[in-house]
Every structure is written in structure tokens, then in C-alpha cells.
Structure 1
Amino acid sequence: MLKVTNLNVSYGAIHAIHNVSLEVHQGEIVSLIGANGAGKTTILHTITGLKKATSGEVFLEGTNLLTTDPAKIVTLGMAHVPEGRRIFSQMTVKENLEIGAFIRGDNEQIAQDIEQVYSHFPRLKERYKQAAGTLSGGEQQMLAIGRAMMSKPQIMLMDEPSMGLSPLLVKEIFHIIQELNHNGMTILLVEQNAKMALSIANRAYVLETGNVVMEGNAQDMLADDKVKKAYLGL
């Protein structure tokens, strides 16, 4: 579904991403783990057109994303839940969800899909008239995921969904990610909480200073001594 081949990205003279290759197959959860500053967010930004690649290829279902207008990428069935949530804080919860469906014109179906989001996130329904900026951190993360769902994507890129959340809310968010996947959503998950990310993923890639240094079955990585020592605090 998503294939990244020999991706290189630079910030001026700094070569940030070095020949990274990864694949996400339909129906999978694939986790990209690594320390802060390893380049995980840069890869997502390059996939979604927010950052220009120096070289390499990024294909989504046969379409070259590196030569596609970033504004059109969302129409290809990809949604991005950004680091830090990036919700529209002055707008209501419902208005944020409606903005997530801006590429669509099927108003009746949009209304039904908002109700579907509320079924996943009952707290958003309780607060649908509230300004999004007044929500708790966990509720804002739910809203960011719900907004991404409104574009009806085939694949969702999630960047640090557990950031700043309590352990209880982290478990809730990861349960929601699994639920979305069970309902057919393909997910590329960038996450510093390696243990949680690996526990729900099919496969995973480990990134260090812009290089993929390990890849494979996520459960095998959970049991790998190097991964345990470097990323799981064991």
C-alpha cells in the first residue's frame, strides 16, 4: 500500500534521513520507533508532502507522493494525525470534525460519520459545542484522530499519539488505534513509547540518527535484548 524507497531528506547542510526504506501493507499496523530526534517525524512529514525529499521514492497505491501536490495527498486516501494534535483551538469540537471532511461533499454522510466518530469517542459528543482548546490533552488527541477519520482514509499516519498523556489515557488511545485497525484502517505509527507501539504492531522499524537499523516482526522485537536495552528500559 505505502512504499518508501531510499528516502533522503536534508535540512540545509544536515543530512537528516539516510536511504530509509519501509513498507506498510494493507491492514497492518506498522510502528516506527526510535529516540527523540531520530528522524521519525521528518519521515512522516516527507510522506505527506510537508517536507521535500532530497532523493528517493514514496508511493501510495502506485501514486508517487513526492511529485504530488501536498493538498491532493489527502484525496488519495491518506490522513495524518500530527505530533502535538494541531487541533483548531478556537473552533468547536464539531467544527473541527467538519473540517476533517473538507474534501467531501456528501453532507448527509458526513453527519453520519460524525456520529460514528462520537461512537468511538463518547466524550467528544458530550463536548461537541465546546471550543477544542478547552479539552483535556487526551480529549484533544481523540479529536485529532476523529478529525483524521472524517476524510475517510485508507491509511492513517499517527505521530506520537501518546505524548503528554497519563498512563491510563495512553492505554485508552492505543485501544482506539487497535479498534480502528480491526475495522480496516491501515496505520503507520510513530511513537516514542516503544513498548506500547510494539505491543499492538504487526511489524516495526527502528530508526537511529536517520537510519533504519532494525526491522521485522513487532513481537520478535519486543523479545530482542538490544531493543529491550535501548528502547524498553529493561
Structure 2
Amino acid sequence: MLRVENIDVYYGMIHAIRGLSLEVNEGEIVTLIGANGAGKTSTLRAISGLNPIKNGEIFYENAKVDSLDAHKLVGKGVSQVPEGRRIFGDQTVEENLLLGAYLRKDKTEAKKTMEEVFKRFPRILERRKQMAGTLSGGEQQMLAIGRALMAKPKLLLLDEPSMGLAPIIVEEIFDIIKEIREQGTTILLVEQNANLALQLADRGYVLETGSIVLSGNANDLLNNEAVQKAYLG
């Protein structure tokens, strides 16, 4: 479904991503793990069209997409839940969700999707008319995922969904991610909590200073001595 081949990303003179390649097959959860500053977010932003790539190619459903604008990729079925959630705090929960469906022409179908989102996240249903900035961190994360789901994505890019959340909420969020995959959405997950990510994923890639240093079956990576030492404590 997604194929990234030898991409390079620069921020000015800084070479953030170096010859990175990865694949995500339809129906999988694939995780990208690594320390802070390893280039995980830069990789997701390159895939979703937010960071231009200097070299390499990105293919989605066998079509080359690395020169497409981000909103066109959303139209093709790729949605991203950004690091730090990035919800619109001065708009209501419902307004935030509607923004996620801005490319959808059939508003009746978009309303149906909103009801599905509320069914999945009953806590944000209770707060649908509330300003999003007044929600707790966990509720904001649920809203950010719900907003991405409003676009009916085939591929969901999740950036650090557990960041800053209490362990009990993290568990809930990861259960939701599992459900989303079970209902047919493919997921590329960037996550600093390597232990949780590898328990959830089918396959994983380990990123260090902008390069993939290890990849494989998630369970194998979970039991890999080097990964355990570096990321699993």
C-alpha cells in the first residue's frame, strides 16, 4: 500500500532523513520506533506531503505521490494524527470533527461518519458542544484521532499517540488503534513507547539519526537484545 524508497529530508543544512526505505502492506500495523530526534516525525511528515523530500520516491497504492500536496493525499485516503494532537482549541469538538471531513462532498455520509466516531469515543460525544481546548489530554487525543477518521482514511499515520498521557488512557488509546485496524484501516505508527508499539504492531523499523538500522517482525524486535537494551529498558 505504501512504499518509501531511499528518501532524504533536509532542514536547511541539517540532513534529517538519510536514504530511508520502508513498506506498509494493506491491513498491517507497522511501527517506527527510535529515540527523540531520530527522525520519526520527519518521516511521517514526508510521507504525508508536509516535508518536501530532496531525493528518493514515495508510492501509495502503486502511484508516485511524493510531489503531491498534503490535502491531495488526504483526498486519496491518507490521514495523519499529528504529534501534540494539534486540535483547534477555540472551536467545539463537533467543529473540529467537521474540519476533518472538509474534502468530503457528501455531507450526509460525513454526518454518518461523525456518529461512528462518537460511538467509538463516547467521551467526546458527551462533550460535542464543548470547546476542544477545555478537554483533558486523553480526550484531545481521542478527538485528534476522530478528526483524522472523519476523512475515511485507508492509511492512518499516527504520531506519538501516547505522549503525555496517563498509563490507563494510553491503554485505552492503543485498544482503539487495534479496533481501527480490525475495521480495515492500515496504520503506520510512530511511537516512543517501543514496548507498547511492538506489542501492537505486525512489523517494525528502528530509526537512528535519520536512518533505518533494524527492521523485522514486531515480536522478533521485541525480543532482540539490542532493541531491548536501547529502547525497552
TM-score by length of 2: 0.99
How far is 1:69 from its partner? 2.2
Superposed CA offset, 1:86-124 (max 9, x none): 001111001111111000121211111111001110001
Q: 2:22 maps to what in 1?
A: 22
Q: 2:174 maps to what in 1?
A: 174
Equivalent-residue separation in structure 1 for 2:88 and 2:192 (angstroms):
25
Q: 2:162 maps to what in 1?
A: 162
Pairing of 1:1-40 with structure 2 (within 5 A): 1-40=1-40
Q: 2:100 maps to what in 1?
A: 100
- Give the fraction of aligned pairs with identical amino acids, expressed as a percent: 58
1:66 is paired with a residue whose SS is coil
Amino acid across the alignment from 2:161? P
Equivalent-residue separation in structure 2 for 1:65 and 1:46 (angstroms):
10
Pairing of 1:3-82 with structure 2 (within 5 A): 3-82=3-82
Amino acid across the alignment from 2:38? A
Amino acid across the alignment from 1:188? L
Of 167-176 and 59-68, more deviation after overlay is shown by 59-68
Equivalent-residue separation in structure 2 for 1:66 and 1:108 (angstroms):
32
Of 8-17 and 89-98, more deviation after overlay is shown by 8-17
Equivalent-residue separation in structure 2 for 1:158 and 1:177 (angstroms):
9
> Is there any run of 5+ residues in structure 2 with no aligned partner, and where?
none
Pairing of 1:83-122 with structure 2 (within 5 A): 83-122=83-122
Equivalent-residue separation in structure 2 for 1:27 and 1:7 (angstroms):
24
How far is 1:15 from its partner? 1.0
Equivalent-residue separation in structure 2 for 1:190 and 1:118 (angstroms):
25
How far is 1:68 from its partner? 1.2
2:90 is paired with a residue whose SS is coil
Superposed CA offset, 1:115-174 (max 9, x none): 100111000100000000000000000000000000001000000000000000110000
2:98 is paired with a residue whose SS is helix
Amino acid across the alignment from 1:203? R
**Preserved CA contact (<8 Å) 1:48 1:65:** no
How far is 1:231 from its partner? 0.3
**Preserved CA contact (<8 Å) 1:31 1:198:** yes
1:21 is paired with a residue whose SS is strand
TM-score by length of 1: 0.98
Amino acid across the alignment from 1:232? L
Q: 1:214 maps to what in 2?
A: 214
> Is there any run of 5+ residues in structure 1 with no aligned partner, and where?
none
Please identify runs of 4+ aligned residues in structure 1 that moved more than 2 A: none
Q: 1:202 maps to what in 2?
A: 202
